[in-house]
A and B are shown apart, each in its own frame.
Chain A
Amino acid sequence: MAKPEDFLPLKTNWFHILLSLAGEEQHGYGIMQEVFERSGGKLRLWPATLYGTVKRLIDAELIEESDERPAPELDDARRRYYRLTRLGRRVLDAETARLKELVRIVQTKRRLETAR
């Protein structure tokens, strides 16, 4: 069984996809839109890149295809939905912790600088 630490630091695309799936199950289009909006239009996961990354995430067992369909009125039958696996969630947590730690270090340094 792979350990979450093996995946760190997470590639940007991987991180964004995992982040998009952190809340609820999404289909490809949804992931793409969410990332686009979250980054303020700066990051667009182009379709081939998106599915290439999805494939690798599935191979690495960080996400999986979901068989549960959302409420029928929201369901888009043509699309496949994805969700985080337990490992995927742990990896996302680990990456978040790593980023948090980085931010903390940067802030400490900044504080020292202003104090001087």
Chain B
Amino acid sequence: MKLALWLYRRLARAFPHEFQVIYGADVIQLGEDIVQQIAQQNGITGLFRLVLDLAIRVPMEYLSEMRRDLAYAARTLIKSPGFALVGVLSLGIGIGVASTIFSEIHMLIFRDLPVVRDPQRLVMAQGVSYPYFEEYRKQNLFTGAAALLQGVPFSVSLDAVSGAKAERIFGQIVSPEFFSVFGVPAQRGRVFSPGLDQPGEPPLAVITDRFWRERMNADPNAVGRTLRINGMTATIVGITPKDFLGAMPIIAADLFIPTTAPARLAPELGDDVLHKRDQKPFLVLLRLAPGVTTASAEAALETLTRHLNETSADPADRDRKGKLVRLVPGGMILPIPKEARPILWALWGTLVGLMLTIACMNLANMLLAKAGARRREIAIRLAVGASRFRLIRQLVTESVLLSLAGGICGLIFAFWMTNLVSTMKLPGSTPFQFDIRPDALVLVFTLALSFVTGIGFGLAPAFAATNADVAPTLKEGGVSQMRGYRKFGMRNLLVVYQVAGSLMLLLITGFMVMGYGSIASANASFDTHTMYLLAIDPIRDGYTPDQASAFFEKLPERLRGLPAVDGVSLSSSPPFTQELGASDFAGQSDLRNAAASVSALSRQPVGAGFFAAINEKVLAGREFDDRDQRTDAPPTTALPAILNQTAAKSLFGNENPIGKRITQQPQSYDVVGVVRDLKGPSITPGFQGAIYVPMTRRMLAHPPAGGLTLMIRSNAGPDTIERVRQQIAALDPNITVFNVRTLYQSLDELNAYVRIGTIFYGGLGAFGLILASIGLAGVTAYAVTQRRKEIGIRMALGARKGQVLRLVLREGTALVAAGSVLGFAGAMILARAMSAILNVFATIFHTAASDPKLIVGAPLLLAGLAMLACYLPARRSTEIDPLKALREE
């Protein structure tokens, strides 16, 4: 009985404060009164019930209090919709961005491939030759191995009849073991298997579920139907399960062709690539045997590769230093090595953290401002006996409610953002696919985030607000408990932070926008709207290199005959786009003994009359003509080459480059011309050295993934495209024309990412600015109310309005100044740091940081706005009636 009573008293004291104050004593009293009686009547069970009753009621009281808190919080928020809206929006953006980023990492980096069996056991090696792959396969470290080529374009038409409309479909060329290594069965028909698929068989293809549904309307008889692939007929033998899009599905495959297919079906298999040790285009997919770790497999393959290299005929292989084999996870969306993951987490984490801090700071500041205004209410509640804890909980409930609303808003924002990212077309010819959708985990993440921000950033203001002296607050109308504004340091700190933060955002965004503007445009000497680009790929329409070459000789002639055509040429990629993947070149100088070696030249194969077509004068020498395009030069003969000025200077200094020889093993070139530096939207800094090589027959046989670009400059408007199409069709109706656009559109596409980023960060900067202004206005308004009496006295003693205004504005000005200086310094440091990480930023900031418009303009804009935000509430100080203010005492 004693124990029961002790427990009873203990529990009774755990009631919520309010309940405790009113009924606590009664509950204990009653318990004490009846305990004797209960023990007599019901024995132990009775005592147990007595305590249990209390144990159940205590949490129930808490729940009911929380419910009332929530209702109260909701009412308060509804009563000040402006405050609620700004809070919800600012948190919504913060949380939305955080969720988007989280979805991205989660979906892209840390997700296993769907459908695949036991994806953790899969590893992948890149850049392997097929003979090496066959050696790897023999190792008993693996229970399965397959080689594949990814991102391979095919020209596909559904009907085998010639003349049917062909589409460009990306697929993978896979060794027959591919599907068994992945553990992916066929949904219908069969997948490839080493036993069934041998060289010399009629062409076969496996298609994805997506292809089957989207292009074949889920035809139940699809298996056994034929496709026309690259001009050849191939039979569909199977359909893969839903959601399977091949290895590394960020470059989704819709079509699988076995490595046993003839080279005419898959030009990538030409040149006997399956037997050449120096051709290393293959990805090798390996399934680790039980007990084998990635590290041990990597070490074993390293030894094997080194051994194989020693017996290689190629001296370059024998001398190869450093790590030769690097195994990355093969069962994931993106093959990111395990070691890199913490770095990625940290990077994204910092970004998310920054975004959230800005949003939360705004919330905290707003809550502080609001708490200041509610001091009187809080003081009254404290005076009538509300516990401080209870009030803090009430205030935190409000901020949690706010942040939950923000979280919902953020989730909508995240859905919108991820949808945007998923549907965004990336520049370049390979169809990257970002399959990003917020899922349940993201939902949980977002809600958790909302709770944490709500509690975290509601707590401090709540503590500050309830830390008031009750008596003076009530007596003096809720204004005097702040002895001077120094005591409100935290809020001032927040304002400084906000001003600094938004200035930083503004400056960085400004740098981006302006710097980008300067690098985004091409320095073309004609209107980029008047150049039309069409991609064609005759090889994949079934042409032999000879046929293709003949076709390309005939086509420009016909096109030049069209009305209003100023130039026609051919290129491996659109003009003014620098190709990534720079190559090493060595130039032989007359003066210097050693050959100058330049490693970062971009190499672009261009057709005859390329520079004439883009209205570019050749500064020295000549440009390529039809003869250069026709050469079928063996690698031993030197090809002509044209350098841009940067390349000429870096290879030959001030010497005349014409006639000099350049080598890029095993090919050598003779310089025949020099042109101006052509610059387009580029992510590489400054002018890059470029070498233009002729589009030879060999090149025509290996067109890039985007096909060859036909360039037509004409003033005749969009009709030109139709006329060009007619001309191509007149030559051969089977040729597929794709990716038709103007040069302007093509360049614009390259900018899409940066533009979206710019809009996004610009919006963020602007939003931050608005929030900072609101914060400042709040601080000033607060200062004015706080110093009413003082101002009243001053005015009574004869202070003029201007003097009063200055007095009030002084504080705001100090905050703005401090914030501006900090923000400016922060932006500079950030710009430096970003430049150090990525060259892109270096160029951007270099061009922009010297621009006085931004350096002076942004802080001025911010300061102006901030001062306005101070001025508006400060004006109220001049409207203070000294008599009234003094009488309030």
Contacts and interface: CB of A to CB of B under 8 A. Distances in A.
Contacts of B27: 47-48, 51
A47 B54 contact: yes
B810 interface: no
A47 B53 CA distance: 8
A109 interface: no
A76 B61 CA distance: 27
B716 interface: no
B474 interface: no
Interface string A74-92: 0000111000000000000
A55 B22 contact: yes
Q: Which of A47, A54, A80 has the most CB of B within 10 A?
A: A47
Interface in B25-42: 26-27, 29-31, 33-34
Contact of B57 (A28, A29, A52, A79): A52
Interface in A27-49: 28-29, 32, 44, 46-49
B23 A54 contact: yes
Contacts of B33: 29
B50 A52 contact: no
B61 A50 contact: no
A52 B29 CA distance: 15
B66 interface: no
A80 B29 CA distance: 11
A81 B9 CA distance: 22
Q: How large is the interface on A (under 10, 10 to 19, 20 to 34, 35 or more residues)?
A: 10 to 19
A108 B466 CA distance: 63
B558 interface: no
Interface in A58-85: 78-80
A92 to B, nearest CB: 22
A23 B182 CA distance: 82
Contacts of A79: 26, 29
Given A28-B26, A29-B30, A49 B19 contact: no
Interface in B44-59: 49-50, 53-54, 56-58
Interface in B656-679: none
Contacts of A80: 26
Contacts of B54: 46-48
Contacts of B23: 51, 54-55
Nearest to A78: B29
B7 interface: no
B524 interface: no
Contacts of A29: 30, 33-34
Contacts of B30: 28-29, 32, 47, 50-51
Interface residues of B, number: 20
A59 B458 CA distance: 29
A47 B19 contact: no
B60 interface: yes
A44 B29 CA distance: 17
Contacts of A47: 27, 30-31, 34, 50, 53-54
Nearest to A33: B34
A48 B58 contact: yes
Nearest to A50: B30
Contacts of B57: 48-49, 52
Contacts of B29: 78-79
Does more than half of chain B's interface fall in helix, strand or loop, or is it mixed? Answer: helix
Contacts of A49: 53, 57
Q: Which of B27, B49, B58 has the most CB of A within 10 A?
A: B27
Nearest to A31: B30
B491 to A, nearest CB: 36
A97 to B, nearest CB: 29
Contacts of A28: 26, 30
Nearest to A54: B23
A15 to B, nearest CB: 19
Interface string B49-77: 11001101110110000000000000000
A79 B61 CA distance: 22
Contacts of A54: 23
B34 A32 contact: yes
Nearest to B52: A46
A29 B27 CA distance: 10
Contacts of B56: 48
A52 B30 CA distance: 13
Nearest to A27: B26
Q: Which of B30, B33, B50, B53 has the most CB of A within 10 A?
A: B30
Interface string B706-734: 00000000000000000000000000000
Contacts of B53: 46-49
A29 B19 CA distance: 18
A35 to B, nearest CB: 13
Contacts of A55: 19, 22-23
B26 A46 contact: no
Contacts of B61: 52
B60 A46 contact: no
Nearest to B19: A55
A48 B7 CA distance: 13
Contacts of B50: 46-47
A55 B27 CA distance: 12
Nearest to A47: B30
B185 to A, nearest CB: 61
Nearest to A44: B49
B41 to A, nearest CB: 8
A55 B16 CA distance: 13
A28 B56 CA distance: 19
A37 to B, nearest CB: 12
B22 A52 contact: no
A64 to B, nearest CB: 13
A7 B708 CA distance: 80
A51 B49 contact: no
Interface in B288-308: none
Nearest to B46: A44
Contacts of B58: 48
Interface string B540-556: 00000000000000000
B49 A46 contact: yes
Interface string B2-29: 0000000000100000010011001101
Contacts of A50: 30
B54 to A, nearest CB: 4
Contacts of B12: 48
A2 B385 CA distance: 28
A44 B30 CA distance: 13
Nearest to A65: B22
A84 B23 CA distance: 18
Interface string B201-233: 000000000000000000000000000000000
B67 to A, nearest CB: 12
A55 B339 CA distance: 60
A18 B30 CA distance: 19
A66 to B, nearest CB: 14
Contact of A52 (B34, B49, B60): B60
A32 B26 CA distance: 13
A36 B27 CA distance: 17
B18 to A, nearest CB: 9
A51 B34 contact: no
Contacts of B34: 29, 32, 47
A57 to B, nearest CB: 12
A29 B553 CA distance: 109
A110 to B, nearest CB: 36
22 contacts: A28-B30, A29-B30, A29-B33, A44-B49, A46-B49, A47-B30, A47-B53, A47-B54, A48-B12, A48-B27, A48-B53, A48-B56, A50-B30, A51-B19, A51-B27, A51-B30, A52-B60, A52-B61, A54-B23, A55-B19, A55-B22, A55-B23
Given A48-B12, A78-B29, 10 more contacts: A32-B30, A47-B31, A47-B34, A48-B54, A48-B56, A48-B57, A48-B58, A49-B57, A79-B29, A80-B26
Interface of A: 28-29, 32, 44, 46-52, 54-55, 78-80
Closest A-B pairs by Cβ, 7 of them: A46-B53, A48-B57, A48-B54, A51-B23, A47-B30, A52-B57, A48-B53
